[in-house]
Structure 1
Amino acid sequence: MDKLGIAKKYLYDNDLKLVVMKDGIPLAISTDRGIKPVYDVYTKELHHLEGAYIADRVTGKAAAMLLSEAGIKGIYTDLISDAAIEILEQYPILVEYKKRVPYILNREGNDMCPIEKISRRVDDVEGLIKGIEEFFVQVGTTRRGAR
Structure 2
Amino acid sequence: MNAGLAKELLEQHGAACIILRNDEIIFTHVGIGVKPLIAFMEKPLEERSGSLVLVDKVIGKAALLMAVKLGIKNIYTPLVSEEALDAAGVHGVTIEALETVPYIINRTNDGKCPLEQSVTGIYDPEAAFVKIKQAISELMKKAVTL
Give the TM-score range, shorter chain. Answer: 0.7 to 0.9
Cα distance change of structure 1 residues 92 and 129 upon mapping to structure 2, 3 Å threshold: closer
Q: 1:140 is paired with a residue of what secondary structure?
A: helix
Residue pair 1:50, 1:70 contacting (<8 A) in 2 also = no
Q: TM-score, normalized by length of structure 1?
A: 0.80
**Which moved further from structure 2: 130-139 or 95-104?**
130-139
Letter in 1 for 2:95: V
Q: How many pairs are equivalent?
A: 140
RMSD: 2.5
- Residue aligning to 2:57: 57
User: Superposed, which structure 2 residues align to 1:48-87 within 5 Å?
Assistant: 48=48, 50-87=50-87
- Residue aligning to 1:110: 110
- Residue aligning to 2:9: 10
Residue pair 1:7, 1:20 contacting (<8 A) in 2 also = no
Letter in 2 for 1:35: V
Letter in 2 for 1:55: V
Residue pair 1:7, 1:53 contacting (<8 A) in 2 also = no
Cα distance change of structure 1 residues 131 and 91 upon mapping to structure 2, 3 Å threshold: closer
- Residue aligning to 1:145: none
Equivalents in 1 of 2:3, 2:121: separation in Å? 31
Cα distance change of structure 1 residues 66 and 79 upon mapping to structure 2, 3 Å threshold: same
Does 1 or 2 have the higher relative contact order (CA < 8 Å, sep 6+)?
2
Structure 2 stretches lacking a partner, 5+ long: 142-146
Structure 1 stretches lacking a partner, 5+ long: 142-147
- Residue aligning to 1:30: 29
Equivalents in 2 of 1:119, 1:45: separation in Å? 26
Q: What is the deviation of 1:73?
A: 3.4
Q: 1:89 is paired with a residue of what secondary structure?
A: helix
Q: TM-score, normalized by length of structure 2?
A: 0.80
Equivalents in 1 of 2:27, 2:111: separation in Å? 30
Residue pair 2:2, 2:96 contacting (<8 A) in 1 also = no
